[in-house]
A and B are shown apart, each in its own frame.
Chain A
Amino acid sequence: MERRDFLKISAIAGATAALEGCGNPDHQLIRFVPEEDLLPGIATWKPSICTQCPAGCGMMVRVMQGEAEVIRKGQLGLLKMGLAKKLEGNPAHPISQGKLCPRGQAGLQVTYHPDRIKNPLVREGARGSGQFKEIGWDDAIKQLASQLSTLHTSNPPGGLAFVTGPLRGQRKTILDAFTTSFQGSYAVGAAFLDDSVARAANGASFGHAAPGTVDLANSNYVLSFGADFLGTWNSPVAQNVGFGHMRKGRPGMRGKFVQFEPRISQTGASADEFVAVQPGAEGVLALAIAHVVIAEKRKPLASAGHAGSLIDGWAQGLPDYAPEKVAAQTGVKAETIARIAREAASHDPAVAIIGDSATAQTNGYFNALAVNALNALLGSVGKPGGILFGAGLNAQASKSGPASLELFASQVSSGAAPVKVLLVYNANPIFSAPTAWGVRAALDKIPFIASFASFMDETALLADLILPDSSPLESWLDDVPPSGSAKFVMSVAPPAMAPLHDTRSAPDVLLDVAQRIGGDLAKALPWKTYDEAIQAAFAALYKEKGSKTAKDADEFWSRAKDQGGWWTDEPSATANGASGGRPIKASAAQFDGEASQYPFHFLPFASQLFYDGSLANLPWMQEAPDPLSTVMWGTWLEINPRTAQKLNIQRGDLVEVSSPHGKLQAPALIAPGVAPDVVAMPIGQGHESYTRYASGRGANPISILAPATVEGTGALAWAATRVKLSAVGRSAMILFGGSLTEASPELKHR
C-alpha cells in the first residue's frame, strides 16, 4: 500500500489503541451518520418561540455543529448535529423586538438538562413511588390510545380530563378537538399565574375579554396597581422595551411611573414613586384618583363610558371615594392621591395597569373594574400610550377559559366527576395548587394518569404513563400571543435542532392517537404531524388576512417559517359600549384567617427567575441572584425591618409560617420594601421532586394558601391569606450581594 496510507492507518490504529488504553469511552460509541449538513464552526440562526412564560416572545437560536450522545433506534451513539448554543430575541418579532428576559435566555438548559425524561415510561411500583420502566413509543402510544378509545366509545360518555398550562395556537385546537369529541370531558387550567381576572374585567368593562396590550412606549404617565410588568407580569420583554422607550427613547420627554403595591417589587424598584397601599385597597385607590380627576373637572366623567357605569356611584362622581374618606383604608395620604390624580390627568397619555396581587384578592375583580374605569376616564383605552385591544386577538379570547382546578379537584374527590383518564400537559397541579384544594387526593381517585412531562416533577411522579415531550427547541412551535404588541402576531417555528433523546412532540403524539381513535376526532384533526396542523392554520390566516408580500399560501407559509411568524399592523379596537352589567359596589378584600391570630398578610410573588416555579429546575435560574433579595439556590421570607426587630428575628432565622391551611418554614430576610404587616415569599422553590437542582429545596408558598376565590370569577385569590410567624432556629441563606438593610457595625459610621 502507499506509504501515506500505511502511516495513516498506523496512526489511527495507534491512536485507537492508545485511547483504548486511556479508557476513552467515546471511541466505544458508534457514530451515526449526520442527519443534517452543517459546517463546523459556522453558526446558523433559526427562528423559534420562547415558552418559558406565556408571553410568547419570538426568538432566534444560534445553531452550530457539535457532537452529542444520542439514542437512535434504541442504540446509544455519537451524532454530529446542529446544537442550539445561544438564544436571542428575534429583532423582527413584534413581541420581543430582539430582546429576551433571563428566563428566555435560560431556555437552553431545558433542552440540555441532565434530568430530562429520555424515553417513555410506564409505572412499575405503587403510584408516587417513582418506580418506572422504560418502554418504547409504539407501546406507549398504544397504551394511551387504547385507554382513550375505551373512553371514546363508553356509555355514558365522559371520563376524560386534561390538565394543562395555557395553550394557544394549534395546541389549543387539538385540545379543543379532544374535549369536543369526548363528551363530558374537562379541560382544566393549572397555571398558578393567569390573566383570567383581567380578561373577565376587560370583557365586562370594554367588551374585550382579553388582556390587552399596554403601549408603554408612547405613554407619559403610568399608574401600576401591583403589576410586576417589568418582571413577570403579562408580557415582560415587550413591556421592558416599551418602558425603556418611555423613559429615554423620546428626546425631551420622560414618562413618569408610579407603582402602588404593599411590597416594593422588582418593577416598583424602577418607579419614580413607590406608594405603599393596603392589600386589597387598590381598587378603592384607583377610584379615589378618578374622584379627584372628576371633581376637579380634568376629564368628564362620561368619558369613562360603560366601564365607568359598572362602578357603583360613578354617575354621581364617586362621592364615597374622596381621598380623605379613603386615606385610612388605602393607607395613602389624601394629598398624595390628589397630586397623583392631577399629574396623571394633565400628562396625556396616561395609562393604568393592574395585576398580580391586586387582582388576586377576593375583591380582585372589583379592583380590575375600578382600574378599567380609571383608564377609560383618562382616555387611554384604544389610544397610543394606553391600553390597546387588537380586533384579531379577540378570536383567542372568545372561547371560554379553562375549568377551575379547584372545582375539578373537589368534583373528582366527591365523585361528582367520574374521571377515568387524566392527561397532564405543561402543568404541575400538585405544585401549583394550594394543599387546601386537595388535588393530590383527587388524582388518587383517577384510575389512569398519562403525562407529557419532560421532567419528573411532583405530578409526573403520580403518572401511570409518561410520554415525554420534546423540548421546545426540538419541536414545531406556534403561538398567537394575546398581548405585547399592537400588531396581530401569529408565530411559527420549526424545530431548531433534532431531539437529543427518545422523546416526541406532545401534539404529534396526540395527533397520532386521534388518528387511531378515528371518527369525528380524526376528522377534526386531519393531520399526521403537528407542522401540518400549523400549516393549516397559516393557510386559514392567509385566506383571512391576505398578504402584501406572498403571492400564495405556500409562499406565505414559507416566509412565515423563515422569519418566525407573520404579523401585521392592526387598527386597535375601541372599547365596546357593551350593554348589561350592573354597577358593582366596592367590596373590601376578605382575608382568610383572623387578624388577631394571623397578624400578617401573606404575599407570595412570582419569582423573576423561577416564574411560577416551572423554571426552578434550571441551574442558571437557581444561581442567578434574585434581583431584590440577591438570594441564590434558596428560598426566603421577606419581613419588614421594624417588624423583625419587634419579633426579635434576624436575617437567616428559620421562621415557621402558618396559615389556617398549612405551615412551612423559610429563612427570614430583612426587607425594607415590605409593609410592616405583610410578609412576602417568592414562588418557585419547595419542589418535592423537580430534578437534582430543585428537588427538596426550599418551601412552596402556594401550599399554605387559603382556597379563597376572586369574587365574580373562579380564580384563586392567592393574596388573601393571613399567616402567623414563629422563629424555630437558624438557617443559612446564600446571598450574592448581602443585605445592606441591617446596618453592620462597619456601615453604622458611614
Chain B
Amino acid sequence: MAHQWGMVIDLDRCTGCEACVVACHAENNISTVGEDQARRSRAKHWIRVERYYEGEFPDVQVKFMPVLCQQCDAAPCEPVCPTFASYHTSEGLNGQIYNRCIGTRYCANACPYVVRYFNFFNPVWDKPLNLQLNPDVSVREVGVMEKCTFCVQRIKAGEIKAEAEKRELKDGEIQPACVQSCAPRAMVFGDLNDPESEVSRLANSGRATKLLAELGTRPKVTYLQRDAWHGHENA
C-alpha cells in the first residue's frame, strides 16, 4: 500500500524552543529576509511556533503550537492553482512545484493556516552563507510560492535507500528536519497507512485534535492537546 505521510505534534511535550524553526531553515534553503522585509511581514518560517496568552497575571497561561503545512487531504490551495503548481501527491503530500508556479498567490489566500510563503524578492545569502545550502533542495526564485514539504527530499531519499536495499521502510526511519531536532520529542512523523506506526497510534489518542478541522480541509497533522496533571494529594 502506498504511504500516507502524517505527523503528530504533542502539545503536552512541546516547550516552544523553536529548534524546529531553525532546523527547517537550514534543511530547506530558506533565506532570511532581513530586518526591513521582516518588518513587512515577509519572513518565511515554513514552521512557526504560535504563542497564545490566556488570563491575567498571576493566573497567566501560555500555550505554544507549532504550525506548518498540514498537507490537507482536501487542501483548499490545490483546486485554485491555475497551473497545478499546488497538487496532491500519491503519498498524501501537498506538493509545491516551484517551476510551475507563476505567483498568483491564490493558494496562499485559500490556505486557512497561513502556512504558504511567497518570495517577494530573490532570496539572498550573504556569501559565504550560501555554502550551507542543501544540494537536495531547490532554491526558489522571486515570484514563487513555497511552503513546508514534510522534507520531501528526505522522504524520497529514504524510499530510494529502502528500495535499493530491498526492504521496507522502518517506522521512524524518515524524519523531517523539524521532527529530528525536536528535543522533547513532541513531533512524530510516519505512515498513517501503517496501523502499527507510532504516528497512527498517537493519532488515535484521546487527546487528538486537528487544527481548523471544521473547515473540512482534512489536515494530516494531528495535535495532541495539552494534558492536565492527574495526580492527587495523598491524604
Contacts and interface: CB of A to CB of B under 8 A. Distances in A.
Interface in B10-25: 10, 12-19, 21-23, 25
A113 B127 CA distance: 8
A69 interface: yes
Contacts of B186: 244
B60 A264 contact: yes
Contacts of B38: 623, 632-633, 734, 736
Given A672-B56, A736-B45, A102 B177 contact: no
B16 A100 contact: no
Contact of A102 (B22, B48, B135): B22
Contacts of B39: 633, 732, 734
Interface in B178-235: 180-186, 227-231, 233-234
B49 A88 contact: no
A102 B21 contact: yes
Interface string A90-131: 000000001111101110110111100000000000000000
A161 interface: no
Interface in B31-71: 32-35, 38-39, 43, 45, 48-53, 55-58, 60-64
B132 interface: yes
A535 interface: no
Nearest to A104: B19
A102 B18 contact: yes
Interface in A563-601: none
B60 A673 contact: yes
A387 interface: no
A633 B41 CA distance: 12
B36 to A, nearest CB: 9
Contacts, number: 227
User: Which residue, B27, B177, B183, has most C-beta atoms of chain A within 10 A?
Assistant: B183
A114 B50 contact: no
Interface stretch (A173-181, A269-277, A317-325, A536-544): A269-277
B134 interface: yes
Contact of B134 (A68, A86, A672): A86
Contacts of B233: 339, 342-343, 346
B181 A108 contact: no
B126 interface: yes
B129 to A, nearest CB: 5
B181 A100 contact: yes
Nearest to A89: B181
A113 B129 contact: yes
A692 B62 CA distance: 34
A608 interface: yes
Contacts of B134: 85-86
B183 A114 contact: no
B35 to A, nearest CB: 4
A256 interface: yes
A518 interface: no
B2 interface: no
A101 B183 contact: yes
A346 B234 CA distance: 6
Q: How large is the interface on B (under 10, 10 to 19, 20 to 34, 35 or more residues)?
A: 35 or more
Interface string B118-136: 0000000011111111110
Nearest to A674: B57
A244 B57 contact: no
B117 to A, nearest CB: 12
A343 B234 CA distance: 7
A620 B33 CA distance: 10
A9 interface: no
Contacts of A241: 183-185
B139 interface: no
B17 A230 contact: yes
B126 to A, nearest CB: 4
Contacts of A230: 15, 17, 184
Contact of A675 (B32, B58, B64): B58
Given A500-B128, A673-B53, A247 B184 contact: yes
A66 B128 CA distance: 12
Contacts of B27: 86
Given A41-B135, A272-B228, A608 B26 contact: no
A114 B184 contact: no
Contact of A266 (B13, B16, B131): B16
Nearest to A64: B135
Interface of A: 41, 64, 66, 68-69, 83-89, 98-102, 104-106, 108-109, 111-114, 220-221, 230-231, 236-237, 240-241, 243-245, 247-249, 254, 256, 264, 266-270, 272, 274-276, 339, 342-343, 345-347, 500, 608-609, 619-625, 627-628, 630, 632-634, 640-642, 672-676, 692, 732, 734, 736-737, 740-741
6 contacts: A85-B134, A272-B228, A346-B234, A623-B32, A627-B51, A641-B57
Those 3 A-B pairs whose CB atoms lie nearest each other, nearest first: A244-B184, A240-B183, A269-B62
Given A112-B131, A642-B57, A734-B35, 13 more contacts: A66-B135, A99-B183, A100-B19, A105-B26, A108-B132, A114-B128, A247-B13, A269-B62, A621-B22, A628-B62, A641-B56, A672-B53, A734-B39
